[in-house]
Amino acid sequence: MIRILATGGTIAGTADAASGGKRYKAAALPVDQLLGHMAGLDGLSVDAEQVLSLDSKDMRPADWLVLLAATRRALRDPGVSGVVILHGTDTMEESAYFLHLTLPLGKPVILTGAMRPADHPAADGPANVHAALALAATPGQGQHGVQVCMNRQAFAARQVLKARSSGLDAFDSLPGQPGAIPSAGRFAALQVDALPDVFVLPGYAGAPPELIDACVAAGARGLVLALSGHGSVPTAWEAALTRAQASGVAILRASRCAGPVIRNANADDDGRGWLTAGDLPPAKARIALMLALAAGWSRQEMIDGLAQL
């Protein structure tokens, strides 16, 4: 049996008639009603659980922990052979990567969603659900880590990104470690009630260093710097970063380009005590740093391991 875990999103959305279909309300339909509208599910061995009901733009780290707990419960069920998660597309890549790092290899876990709401005349949700169920039922898929299935394509959680804001082909893969299997389940034993605050700080022409001080004042335990080029730190930021580190904040250089950010290239990372993201994009580097901090990794463990997650 495949268990479907629903979290809301566009796939469960309905159009706003007053807008002529240009706007819609995400997470409007409960999973039983949503699946009841999909042809071809009769006779399949599936059950469903409504875990969350939200627009994925509102997904928070606390929600990841709720989803993780539900997925772990499903995977422990001997009658469940795989899990399909229905999720909004805006932050699907983040949830997929978080689950990739926190779930063990074994049974397949596939995330899917939709670019069009459920009542769209050409809704893509049903086809995506069928493809995800087929992928979850394919022998051996559990050894590939968490995957995203959209538009009849499968993507590794580490590489997947929503590359376009619209269109059925919105999802793509970043270059990087093929499959990224070594990182799967790296934090599978982690049990926490909350995740540490890690903020992503964009670098841009003239970005003021006061942004760094504000993040520290807000309680950040880590800062991911989404910088230009090869993770180039603005000179004007250096003093503020030193102050942040003195308060115990971990600093990680990432790039707003498609990476990689190589340690000690373009910056004295060893001398300054900075971490580097490798080919992880900023949003995923944030997740890796959050989990490393939650697991109590030492600075040396972060230096050696973060970019490999």
Half-sphere exposure of 42 (CA within 13 A, CB side): 3
Choosing from 7, 89, 112, 276, the catalytic residue is: 89
Q: Known binder of ligand: residue 56? A: yes
**Lookup: tokens for 198:** 């890690």
**Beta carbons of 159 and 167 less than 8 angstroms apart:** no
Q: Known binder of ligand: residue 91? A: no
Count of Cβ atoms closer than 10 Å to residue 76 Cβ: 9
- Give CA–CA dist 45/3, Å, rounded: 9
Choosing from 10, 91, 102, 276, the catalytic residue is: 10
Which residues face 86 on adjacent strands?
6, 112
Tell me the helix, strand and coil percentages in the chain, rounded to 5.
35, 20, 45
Q: Is 235 a catalytic residue?
A: no
**Lookup: tokens for 42:** 């009769």
- Give CA–CA dist 299/251, Å, rounded: 11
Helices (H), the chain: 31-36, 61-76, 92-102, 125-136, 210-217, 238-246, 269-272, 282-294, 299-305
Identify the H or E element spanning 252.
Answer: strand 250-255
Q: Known binder of ligand: residue 90? A: yes
Which residues face 154 on adjacent strands?
149
CA proximity to 48, closest of 58, 37, 57, 56: 37
Binding-site positions: 56, 89-90
Active site residues: 10, 89
Residue list, annotated binding site for substrate: 56, 89-90
